[in-house]
Amino acid sequence: MSQRTRIKICGLTREQDVDAAVAAGADAVGFVFYAASPRAVTLARAAELARRLPPFVTPVGLFVNATAGEIAQACRAIPTLLLQFHGDETPQDCDAARRPYLRAARMAPGFDLLNFAARYPSAQALLLDAHVEGYGGGGKVFDWSLIPPNVPRPVVLSGGLNPANVTEGVLALRPWAVDVSSGVEIAKGVKDADAIRRFCDAVREADARLATPPPR
């Protein structure tokens, strides 16, 4: 039986974008707590936006080399927050929060994802993004052939996804989840409700195709 691919819309900054993600059927929405990002939000703003979420839609906080105090403060402000570490955090840094977390992996030729996964045994999933200068994937698609088979963690496919290519990504890789930010934007930090809907529809189309048995 084919699994349903979960969907995360990241980099939300506006009420209408949170509402659009929920209406389109997203499973999670991401708030960026990294001041250097054009999609950064304050903790107070993220908490305000998170209060719009209905049950079973998960708020995710994206951190880059944040202090333990900053992470703890975010968890107090948004009690259901799932953590996503995108910087140089060690396994000890990630575990110190004592909360479920995703660990971002920056995919590039020669990167040993299996070794990386072994170093972060507590991670609920590995979020695979493109390796670019700085932090984050820069809206770039990485070479999907770099992903080895049998990764021992659920995989969240990220990096340059959009409504036009996400079906191919799901069909080719069958990830646990997909994550999109710039691929559904009209400007940095400003989402397009129609693009969000088309992205979610494209993921569901891929799932439907995977669930349909081949002709005999």
The per-residue DSSP string of 88-114 comes to S--HHHHHHT-S-EEEEEEE-TT--HH
User: Mean pLDDT of all residues in the chain?
Assistant: 94
Residue 129: count of CB within 10 angstroms of its CB: 23
Encode pLDDT of 76-125 as tens digits: 999 999 999 999 999 999 999 999 999 999 999 999 999 999 999 999 99
Range of the domain at 158: 6-211
Contact 207, 5 (CB under 8 A): yes
216, part of any domain:
no
109, part of any domain:
yes
Domain total of the chain: 1
Query: Residue 105 corresponds to which tokens in the numbers above?
Result: 């992996």
State the CATH number of the domain containing residue 84. 3.20.20.70
Encode pLDDT of 23-41 as tens digits: 999 999 999 999 999 999 9
- Please tell me which residue in 10, 93, 179, 200 is annotated as part of the active site: 10
- For 189-206, the DSSP string reads TEE-HHHHHHHHHHHHHH
In whole angstroms, give the CA distance from residue 65 to residue 79.
21
In whole angstroms, give the CA distance from residue 165 to residue 141.
10
134, part of any domain:
yes
- Please tell me the pTM assigned to this model: 0.94
1, part of any domain:
no
10 is an active site residue: yes
75 is an active site residue: no
Q: What sign does the dihedral 95-96-100-104 (CA atoms) show?
A: negative
- Please tell me which residue in 27, 129, 179, 207 is annotated as part of the active site: 129
Under the banding of pLDDT at 50, 70 and 90, the label for residue 2 is low
| Residue 29 identity (one-letter amino acid) | V
Contact 21, 198 (CB under 8 A): no
Percentage above 70 pLDDT, the chain: 95
Length of the chain counted residue by residue: 216
52, part of any domain:
yes
Please report which helix (H) or strand (E) contains residue 164, including its range.
none
Amino acid 44: pLDDT: 97
